[in-house]
Amino acid sequence: MKKICVLGVTGSIGQQTVDVVKHHCDEFEIVAMSAGKNIDLLEKIMTVIHAKHICVQTQEDQEYLQRKYKDIHFYWGQEGLIQIATLQQVDIVLNAIVGFAGLMPTMKAIQAHKDIALANKETLVVAGHLIIPLVKEYGVKLLPVDSEHSAIFQCLNGEYHGEIHKIILTASGGSFRQKSRQELEHVTVEDALKHPNWSMGAKITIDSATLFNKGLEVMEARWLFDVHYDDIEVLIHPESIIHSMVEYEDTAVIAQLGTPDMRLPIQYALTYPHRFPLLGGKRLSLSDIGTLHFEKPDFHRFHALALAYEAGRKGGSMPCVLNGANEQANALFLAKKISFLDIEKYVEEAMRAHHWIDHPSLAQLIEIDQWARNFVLERVGEI
């Protein structure tokens, strides 16, 4: 029985994790979980998942729940996340928190010798240079949940041999794949939230539309698979059937295909190296689909992708600036305070204004993240 701590159980990935675990309850048990502020949904999940350790975001919610459920131990805040992620009985932490907030619990869980199933890509984007050495030092597994990275992991058969020519990271192109730069000026939040192939949390859906998501994934791939940025190619593939590919030195290309369903990469991260049936999983029929399409990404129309490659290549503190500014600008767009193209504009401005440092420590990353957020808020006149 694998004992799991799910961080961000009320989110899109979190709820799909519950679904996977429910169908394999003789194999997995969620012994700890965290939610943000959606307490109604948490209480619903508590009727099917009987975890004894639960963390919420605020002290007020923690006190309310503790009064109501006496036989469960409730925690709150960052400290609470760390406490549940490092509990002795936990074997693996599935981190499905969105954003920089996922970093600290990942680090502390690794240091407590827990395997990590990582959906929270921001962890690797900002702190890959700290996380990867920690993973090696503590001898834990770092298993990708992001569908493209799970695909690459599957193509590599779980092992990196150093014979990769390049990684081909597929991208649906998001909600605005065919829009011109001029049309992008006027798109709305509602338009951006309509992703053609995946139903996901709001932040990542906006990131998919700007292509910041693909940019973050390029950086995530760089760290997970130890490849150079020149060897990571983004390929637009609107059907999201090929989840990514690896091209080897001898010209062979290995791809992983399937109908878009996040439960597969979630489940594989939990069952690796084994494969279990995916209950309700739709089988791929290529003869029904008939044709798959591919195109090069347009780095001009989607400047975010160019910014991400630039930040990744610069390394050091720059990915943290890109990530922090993007999180803030993404939230401001969702709140209808800035336009769609303002997101990449403010991210670029933050990158230009930043005093770069090499190999930032965790404490420095926390400061830089805050600086980048404040920079965007000041530019928009919010502080």
Query: Should residue 331 be labelled a site residue for ligand NAD when binding is judged by CB under 6 A?
Result: no
Can you tell me the distance from the alpha carbon of 270 to that of 2, in angstroms, rounded to the nearest whole number? 8
Name which of ligand NAD, Mg ion, none residue 242 binds, using a CB cut-off of 5 to 8 Å depending on partner kind. Answer: none
Q: Which of 4, 8, 116, 368 binds ligand NAD (CB under 6 A)?
A: 8
Asked if residue 122 belongs to a known ligand binding site, the reply is yes
Asked if residue 10 belongs to a known ligand binding site, the reply is yes
Can you tell me the distance from the alpha carbon of 313 to that of 310, in angstroms, rounded to the nearest whole number? 5
Render the burial of 291-324: b for 16+ CB within 10 Å, e for the rest: eeeeeebbeebbbbbbbbbbbbebbbbbbbbbbb
Three-class secondary structure of residue 31 per DSSP:
strand
For the segment 145-164, give every residue that binds ligand NAD (CB under 6 A).
146
Whole-number minimum distance, CB 352 to ligand NAD, in Å? 25
Q: Give the range of 14-22, 69-77, 144-152, 154-162 binding Mg ion by CB under 5 A.
A: 144-152
Asked if residue 210 belongs to a known ligand binding site, the reply is no
Query: Should residue 114 be labelled a site residue for ligand NAD when binding is judged by CB under 6 A?
Result: no
- Among the listed residues 221, 256, 200, the one whose alpha carbon sits nearest the alpha carbon of residue 142: 221
Whole-number minimum distance, CB 171 to Mg ion, in Å? 8
Three-class secondary structure of residue 299 per DSSP:
coil
Q: What angle do CA 19, 21, 23 make, to 5 degrees?
A: 75
Query: Should residue 120 be labelled a site residue for ligand NAD when binding is judged by CB under 6 A?
Result: yes
Please state, in angstroms and as integers, the Cα–Cα distance from residue 202 to each residue in 208, 303, 327, 344, following that order: 10, 20, 11, 17
Nearer residue to ligand NAD within complex by CB, 85 or 227 = 85
User: What's the burial of 103, exposed, middle or buried (CB within 10 Å: 0-12/13-18/19+)?
Assistant: buried
Query: Should residue 247 be labelled a site residue for Mg ion when binding is judged by CB under 5 A?
Result: no
Nearer residue to ligand NAD within complex by CB, 317 or 326 = 326
Query: Should residue 128 be labelled a site residue for ligand NAD when binding is judged by CB under 6 A?
Result: no
Which amino acid appears at position 296 of this protein? Answer: K
Q: Which residue is nearest to ligand NAD (CB)?
A: 11
Nearer residue to ligand NAD within complex by CB, 117 or 135 = 117
Q: What is the largest CA-CA distance in the chain?
A: 63
Q: Give the range of 21-29, 94-102, 292-300, 328-336 binding ligand NAD by CB under 6 A.
A: 94-102
Can you tell me the distance from the alpha carbon of 150 to that of 148, in angstroms, rounded to the nearest whole number? 5
Query: Should residue 198 be labelled a site residue for ligand NAD when binding is judged by CB under 6 A?
Result: yes
> How many positions of this chain bind Mg ion (CB under 5 A)?
3
Q: How many residues does the chain have?
A: 383
Nearer residue to ligand NAD within complex by CB, 198 or 299 = 198
User: What's the burial of 171, exposed, middle or buried (CB within 10 Å: 0-12/13-18/19+)?
Assistant: buried
Q: What angle do CA 318, 321, 322 make, to 5 degrees?
A: 90
Q: Mask: binding to ligand NAD, 48-87, rule CB under 6 A, as x and -?
A: ---------x------------------------------
Q: Which of 61, 115, 146, 220 binds Mg ion (CB under 5 A)?
A: 146
β-pairing, 242-248 vs 253-257, is: antiparallel
Q: Which of 36, 144, 258, 319 binds ligand NAD (CB under 6 A)?
A: 36
Query: Should residue 101 be labelled a site residue for ligand NAD when binding is judged by CB under 6 A?
Result: yes
Q: How remote is the C-alpha of 356 from its chain's centroid? A: 25
Whole-number minimum distance, CB 54 to ligand NAD, in Å? 12
Structure tokens at 5: 């701590």
Asked if residue 8 belongs to a known ligand binding site, the reply is no
Binding-site residues for 1-deoxy-D-xylulose 5-phosphate? 121, 147-148, 172, 195, 208, 213-214, 217
Which residues contribute to the site for ligand NAD (CB under 6 A)?
8-14, 34-36, 38, 57, 96-98, 101, 119-122, 146, 198, 200-201, 203-204, 262
Binding-site residues for NADPH? 10-13, 36-38, 120, 122, 201
Which residues contribute to the site for Mg ion (CB under 5 A)?
146-148
